């Protein structure tokens, strides 16, 4: 009986892991599509595709100006690789929800080494949208 319960627990744990992995893949895809907009200089479109919490934190014109000030001087992306991905349910200063904190090691034309942190959030409709973006 104990072995059966352990086996059932392992199966259920595997199902949760598979679900997190699938959500992680979907969150990574959403982040990549969003980053493609910013890489192309389509800053307004990136705001349009962002999570409501993101849009509530900064106006569209404010976002466009912020990215013109920060991203444009960096130049084109030369390379970007996913360095880490971590699921979180609670983030400081953010509403409770499902998040993936993705960190990318990025090389820009005018900055050889940067870390981009992109945080997709799962919306009430089940879709993942970027709720945060930072460059170091």
Neighbours of 24 (CB within 10 A): 17
Q: Do 136 and 107 contact (CB within 8 A), yes or no?
A: no
Instruction: Please determine, for residue 129, whether its predicted confidence score (pLDDT) is greater than 80.
Output: yes
For the chain, the straight-line distance linking the first and the last C-alpha, in angstroms and rounded, comes to 53
Determine the Cα–Cα distance for residues 102 and 117; give it in Å rounded to an integer. 6
pTM for this prediction: 0.81
Give residue limits of the domains in the chain: 2-135
Q: What is the pLDDT of residues 99-127, one digit of tens each?
A: 999 999 999 999 999 999 999 999 999 99
Helix (H, G, I), strand (E, B) or coil at 98: coil
What's the fold here for domain 2-135?
Nuclear Transport Factor 2; Chain: A, (3.10.450)
Sign (positive/negative) of CA torsion 103, 130, 77, 111?
negative
How high is the pLDDT of residue 90? 84
């Amino acid at each position: 009986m104990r072995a059966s319960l352990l086996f059932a627990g392992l199966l259920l744990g595997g199902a949760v892991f598979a679900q997190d992995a699938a959500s992680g893949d979907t969150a990574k895809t959403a982040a990549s599509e969003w980053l493609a907009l910013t890489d192309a200089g389509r800053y307004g479109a990136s705001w349009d595709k962002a999570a409501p919490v993101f849009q509530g934190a900064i106006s569209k014109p404010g976002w466009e100006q912020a990215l013109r000030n920060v991203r444009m001087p960096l130049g084109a992306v030369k390379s970007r690789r996913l360095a880490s991905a971590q699921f979180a349910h609670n983030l400081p200063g953010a509403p409770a929800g499902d998040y993936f904190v993705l960190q990318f090691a990025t090389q820009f034309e005018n900055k050889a080494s940067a870390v981009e942190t992109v945080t997709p959030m799962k919306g009430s409709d089940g879709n993942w949208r970027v709720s945060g973006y930072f460059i170091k």
